[in-house]
Amino acid sequence: MGVTTGILDEVKREGRNFLLETEAKTICMEYGIPVTEFKIAKNEEEAVVFAEKIGYPIVLKIVSPDIIHKSDFGGVLINLEDSKDVRNAYKTILKNIKTRKADAKIVGVIVQKMAPSSTEVVVGAIKDPQFGPALMFGLGGIFVEILKDVTFRIAPITEDEAREMVTEIKAYPLLRGYRNMPRADIDSIVNILLNTSKLIMRHQEIKELDLNPIMVYKKGAKVVDARIILK
């Protein structure tokens, strides 16, 4: 997989230990993992041109090798409805970074499609010290963070194992549709798990991967944020 190898080599050459969101999402695309459409803008004009092309609502986020948690520094603005919003958001993000993390190198601003809210799930990968690459699955937000309702499998996983991961979490009934939660496309989650398994098996230098959140719809899913950390 040429694109992924190229990106990982470049990151290593630059001595970085985590990938930019643009790099992580480009890798996802090569592995057939659906991500929100994006482009990287180098100035305000470009941000508007890309936003018009992608279509509103839009999200802008800082792209910096010095910032791993973008919203901690005011680097994420969502729900931008028109070109005026995009211009304001572009300026606000750069101002936030300048005041909260003045030494951060800025690569640009990612302009991306805002994914409609839906059921949020998380797919992760870690390196188990004993068994090597392993996959994690859970529902987003409080389910992972507070209830620890997550499941793990040693990679590589089969399709049956991916399906088991989805159905064995306690919150699984919610994915089948409950009250105001729509039914979630289980097959698209299974595909993301299988493709993530392929990715981490082929690229053993990946120490940690976090697709969080992934919006899951009645049909299809979209990765909204992707983090990849190297050894």
Which residue is nearest to Mg ion, using beta carbons?
A: 225
Please state, in angstroms and rounded to a whole number, the distance separating the CA atoms of residues 58 and 89. 10
Footprint on this chain of ligand ADP (rule: CB under 6 A): 36, 59, 61, 69-71, 76, 78, 112, 114-115, 213, 224-225
**Residue 203 binding partner per list Mg ion, ligand ADP, none, with a CB distance cut-off of 5 to 8 Å that depends on partner kind:** none
**Residue 147 binding partner per list ligand ADP, Mg ion, none, with a CB distance cut-off of 5 to 8 Å that depends on partner kind:** none
**Residue 8 binding partner per list Mg ion, ligand ADP, none, with a CB distance cut-off of 5 to 8 Å that depends on partner kind:** none
C-beta of 169: minimal distance to Mg ion in Å? 20
Per DSSP, helices labelled H in the chain are 2-13, 21-30, 44-54, 83-100, 142-145, 159-168, 172-175, 186-202
C-beta of 140: minimal distance to ligand ADP in Å? 8
Nearer to ligand ADP, 45 or 145 (CB): 145
C-beta of 67: minimal distance to ligand ADP in Å? 8
How big is the site for Mg ion, counted in residues (CB under 5 A)?
1
Peptide bond into 213 cis (omega under 30): yes
Which amino acid does the sequence have at 97? I
- Short-list 222, 17, 201, 54, CA closest to 140: 222
Beta carbons within 8 Å of 209's beta carbon, 6+ residues apart: 24, 124, 125, 196, 199, 200, 226, 227, 228, 229
C-beta of 70: minimal distance to Mg ion in Å? 7
Three-state secondary-structure class, residue 205 = coil
21, burial (CB in 10 Å: exposed 0-12, middle 13-18, buried 19+): buried
**Residue 94 binding partner per list ligand ADP, Mg ion, none, with a CB distance cut-off of 5 to 8 Å that depends on partner kind:** none
Three-state secondary-structure class, residue 151 = strand
Three-state secondary-structure class, residue 65 = coil
The span of 2-10, 19-27, 135-143, 217-225 binding Mg ion (CB under 5 A) equals 217-225
C-beta of 167: minimal distance to Mg ion in Å? 26
CA of residue 143 relative to chain centroid, distance: 18
> ∠ at Cα 163 (161, 168), nearest 5°?
90
Does 225 bind Mg ion (CB under 5 A)? Our answer is: yes
**Residue 115 binding partner per list ligand ADP, Mg ion, none, with a CB distance cut-off of 5 to 8 Å that depends on partner kind:** ligand ADP
Instruction: Spell out, one character per residue from 168 to 207, where the chain touches Mg ion: x when CB under 5 A holds, - when not.
Output: ----------------------------------------
C-beta of 109: minimal distance to ligand ADP in Å? 12
Q: Which residues bind Mg ion (CB under 5 A)?
A: 225
